[in-house]
Structure formats: C-alpha cells, structure tokens
Amino acid sequence: MALFKNVDFSSLFTEDFLLTLFRAALYLVIGFLMLRVVIFLVRRLIRRRVTEQAKMLTTKVINYTGIVIIVVIVLLEFGVNLTPILGAAGILGLAIGIASQASLSNVISGLFLVSEKPFAAGDVITVGDKTGVVMSIDLLSVKIRTFDNLYIRVPNEKIVSGEVTNITRYPIRRMDFNLSVAYKENLQHVKDVLVDIAYRNPKVLDEPAPIIMFRDFADSGITLLFGVWFQKTDYMNVKNSVTLEIKNRFDEEGIEIPFPHLSIYAGSTTAPFPVAAVKEEEVESQE
C-alpha cells in the first residue's frame, strides 16, 4: 500500500481526477508522437552513415528509453511515488538478470556484432556446418536462410564466440578443383589443357591468374590443385561450366582420371577370381 500512499482514492471521478486523466492521456499521445518524430529524424540522420543493424539497434534503444520516460511522466501525473517502484525495479532487474544470463549475453554479443560488422544482411556466411544468406541481425540472434530454404536462428553469443566464415565479403573468390591424373600422363600437357580451359571460359577471371599446383604422388595417380578466380555472383555458373569442361577436355585429350578399382579374390591365392561371359549353348555343351 506504500506504493499508493499519495493516491487519494476518494477523489476518483472528481473534476480534478478527470483533469489529471486528460493530462495523462495528452502526455501519452504527445509523448508517443514525439517519440515517432525523434526516431524518424534520427533514422534519417544516420541512414547513410551506419549499417542496417546499427540503425535497428539505435531505433530500439530510443524507442524503449522513450517509452520508459513517457510511462514515468504519466505515473508522476497521477501522483505515484516512484521510489518504491524504482527499488522494486532494481530488485526485479537483478532477478531477471540472473535468470536471463544467456539472453543478456546474446544482447551484448549483438552489440559486438553491430560494432565489429563481420557480416551484413544479404551476405552468405557459414556458421558451424550451416551456410546461408543472412536475413537479419537482431538483438538476440542472427536469422539465416539456407540455400535449401530452411530458416535458422543462431544466437549472437554462438557467433561471437565461434568461427564465422563470410563467403561473400570480397567481390571475387577462388574455386579449387582437386584433380588426379594417371601416372602415364604428360604433366605439361595436363597443365596446358587446364590453362586453356580457364582462358576459354569467359566467367573465369584472367587475372588473378588460375593456379595449377601438382600436389602429390598419390596411390592412384598424381594429384593436383586447379584454382580459378571468379566474380562471387558467378559461383554456380563457374562450378558447373568448369567441371563440364574439365571432363570433356580430358576425354578429348585422352587424359585419364584414375579412380580406385575393386577386385574380388577367392581363397588364399593371389590370382583374381576368373569371371567370363559365355553363351548359354556353350554351357550346355560343356555339361
């Protein structure tokens, strides 16, 4: 009851009370209108200077602060003693803080994300084993839409504490093809064919130049890295066209791509189990 000790309930529905009610309503209406105007002006002022996330955060901070101020003014108009409310709010805040450590951690992580700007809405990122387009960066989480159209909510804390790959940060990228050719092949010829494939594909950048690096004398053949640069928007086009061209040109040039073969052996002898296709008549004649 201490909360309402200054409230005179006997004066309810009196002329003074109705006047107070009117003033409170006026404060509410004017307060919210002013709040809208302030938010509009601030957004207009910062629209070209900060990212969407910073704009969103600034708007929310102004909005919540404004609402608190309006509510306090209205309560003061009704003669409510705010000291107990503030005290209770402190205790409540402490309780909420303890109970929602994870959420607060996410909010603070969200502030770090906004200030550090590791990615922006529209970027393609990989978090853990999930890759997708960033839809929004909010106070508590980042929303991602994967390429198979799944909606993923990643808590900000996980992003700040873990590794995030921004795939579309830079305008160009390198696509690596790990190839293997048979030991019998002329490696200089293989290299020339790959250079020609890159040169003839208009979506593959001439510069930075494609890289070809022979890696290892592996079990099945000689492994090599073929890396081509491309504009980030051409990913699918380059992936498909270069893969097709490698296969077609290797077939045309007689370059063998080795792969593991499986032979079936019977018994302890080293000779493989003989298998031969014979006509039905021959089987009958043998019998």
Partner 1 sequence: MWGQVQIETDAQTILRYGELVVYVRRVEDEWRFSYRYNDPVDSGYAPEEEDWIRLVSRGDESLELAPVLPDRPLVIRPESPISIFPGRLARFFVALPLWYRFVAVLKNSRTDLIDIPSRILSNTWFGDPSAGELCYSLDAPLRRAPERLKDRTTTVTCQLTVRNGSDEKLNFERICAHVENLSIFENDGYLWTNEITVFFKGTEQVSQISIQDRPPDNLPNAQKLTAPREAVSRNILRRSFIFFRQFTGI
Among 202, 216, 251, 265, binds partner 1 (CB under 8 A): 202
**239 touching partner 1, by CB under 8 A:** no
Residues in contact with partner 1, counted by CB under 8 A, come to a total of: 16
State the nearest-atom distance from the C-beta of 119 to partner 1, in Å: 15
**201 touching partner 1, by CB under 8 A:** yes
Stretch of 33-41, 93-101, 153-161, 226-234 contacting partner 1, by CB under 8 A: 226-234
**199 touching partner 1, by CB under 8 A:** yes
Q: Specify the residue, 192 or 206, whose C-beta has the smaller distance to partner 1.
A: 206
**206 touching partner 1, by CB under 8 A:** yes
DSSP string, the chain: -GGGTT--GGGTTSHHHHHHHHHHHHHHHHHHHHHHHHHHHHHHHHTTTS-HHHHHHHHHHHHHHHHHHHHHHHHHHTT--HHHHHHHHHHHHHHHHHHTHHHHHHHHHHHHHHHH-S--TT-EEEETTEEEEEEEE-SSEEEEEETT--EEEEEHHHHHHS-EEETTSSSEEEEEEEEEE-TTS-HHHHHHHHHHHHHH-TTB-SSSPPEEEEEEE-SSSEEEEEEEEEEGGGHHHHHHHHHHHHHHHHHHHT------------SSSSSPPP-----HHHHHHH-
**8 touching partner 1, by CB under 8 A:** no
State the nearest-atom distance from the C-beta of 170 to partner 1, in Å: 5
**250 touching partner 1, by CB under 8 A:** no
Stretch of 21-29, 95-103, 156-164, 224-232 contacting partner 1, by CB under 8 A: 224-232
Residues forming contacts to partner 1 in the complex (CB under 8 A) are 170-172, 199, 201-208, 229-231, 234
